[in-house]
Amino acid sequence: MEPVPAAEPRVVGPALPEAVRRLAAGLGAPGDASLAEVALTQSGTMRGAPGARPLRFSARQRINLRQLAFTWRATMGPFGCVSVVDALDEGGGRLDVRLLRAIPLGGATDGPALMKGEIMRYLAELAWAPDALLANAALEWRALDSQTLRVAAGRGPARGEVTLRLDALGRIAEAAAEDRPRREGAGFVERPWRGRFSDYRQHQGRWIPCAAEVDWILDGHPFTTWSGTLRSWAVG
């Protein structure tokens, strides 16, 4: 698997679309190249399929501001007996689900479909890491109109692209794609997908959404697979 290329921190420059500069400024990102990552915690519910019983989760996440990298660690189920690690780093993507942290229940560790999906997750979660708008040189931007941006990253079959739609205040309200890989059976199927952000509040001078929902659209019908609330957020 081709590793995710590392990138040097980037300051605002003429190559960055003006719409991206405005978005970063509106979210309170100052362009501080010394910052490395965001650390946050969440709680909420998840379900894998329409009609499935939602499971409560508690999670902590780190998002790299300079590279395509994050780690999301969650516990769910009775007494937190199920642990999940969802991650992207220079070695590729990783999804690991275990019972009592020892017994494998599922997941994936290799392949361009998994890597594409993890890259798309990173892109969609820029609302929680606004400093990456300026610091991550791996991000490729296009402004479609005053309220719509498209951001892409990666190469070849692992390349992912996400559309960001802004609200009336110029903040990220939705992240969407028509082709995010979804784990189905032993493989992946590309499906329409969207995330919605709301309840923006200030943390360390940034405007950060404290509520979010994620939908898969299966055969034209959306179902909410993830619903979460931000419990803490810090950048450093």
89-105 residue pLDDT tens:
987 899 988 887 766 66
* pLDDT above 80 for 178: yes
Question: Which domains can be identified in the chain, with CATH numbers?
Answer: 18-235 (2.50.20.10)
23-60 residue pLDDT tens:
999 999 999 999 999 999 999 999 999 999 999 999 99
Q: Which helix (H) or strand (E) holds 124?
A: helix 112-124
Give the residue from 85, 110, 86, 84 showing the smallest Cα distance to 187: 110
Q: What are phi and psi of 112, to 5 degrees?
A: -65, -30
- How buried is 117 (Cβ within 10 angstroms: 0-12 exposed, 13-18 middle, 19+ buried)? buried
DSSP reduced 3-state for 23: helix
Give the residue from 41, 40, 42, 45 showing the smallest Cα distance to 77: 45
Residue type, 207: W
Q: Are 116 and 124 in contact (CB under 8 A)?
A: no
Instruction: Check residue 98 and give its pLDDT.
Output: 86
Looking only at Cα atoms, what is the longest distance across the chain? 52
Question: Distance between CA 154 and CA 108 in Å, rounded?
Answer: 19
Q: How far apart, in Å, are the Cα atoms of 145 and each of 31, 149, 165, 190?
A: 23, 7, 10, 26
Instruction: Check residue 104 and give its pLDDT.
Output: 63
Instruction: Check residue 50 and give its pLDDT.
Output: 94
Give the residue from 208, 211, 207 showing the smallest Cα distance to 197: 211
Token pair of 38, please? 């965001």
Token pair of 139, please? 């991000």
